[in-house]
């Protein structure tokens, strides 16, 4: 695949223009979500949200549970909220549980809890 992380970083605001179709988006998500790096997983979540690839949300949440950190937390909360809405509450609670042991958990827990409250209020 010709898509590189640097290209995605430079074109992050033009995700749908940069990635021509859903098949390419799926390839990008598969490639980026296999990384343990937060930037790659962050952009995998952005692509999932941009293309509404809801079948990839649980896979990305599993990567968060294995390696919770604040940057991916923000992107994953946004991804879940935008693609699943009420149906994503269980995944957000799983993220919340995974965050508990991390020293940065207060930041992540606040982000997750805010999303849960917004979804419930909608």
Domain ranges, ordered by start, for the chain: 5-121
Q: What is the tens place of the pLDDT at every residue in 86-102?
A: 999 999 999 999 999 88
Q: What is the tens place of the pLDDT at every residue in 23-57?
A: 999 999 999 998 888 899 999 999 998 899 999 99
Its pTM stands at 0.83
DSSP string of the chain, one letter each residue: ----HHHHHHTGGGHHHHS-SHHHHHHHHHHHHT--SHHHHHHHHHHHHHHT-GGGHHHHHHHHHHS--HHHHHHHHHHHHHHTGGGGHHHHHHHHHHHTTSTTHHHHHHHHHHHHHHHHH-
């Amino acid at each position: 695949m010709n898509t590189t992380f640097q290209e995605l970083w430079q074109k992050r605001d033009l995700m749908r223009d940069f990635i021509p179709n859903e098949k390419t988006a799926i390839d990008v998500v598969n490639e980026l979500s296999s990384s343990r790096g937060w930037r790659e997983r962050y952009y995998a979540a952005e692509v999932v949200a941009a293309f509404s690839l809801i079948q990839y949300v649980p896979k990305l949440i599993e990567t968060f549970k294995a390696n919770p950190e604040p940057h991916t937390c923000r992107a994953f909360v946004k991804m879940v909220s935008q693609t699943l809405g009420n149906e994503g509450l269980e995944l957000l609670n799983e993220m919340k549980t995974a965050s508990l042991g991390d020293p940065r958990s207060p930041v992540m827990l606040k982000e997750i809890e805010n999303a849960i409250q917004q979804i419930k209020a909608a």
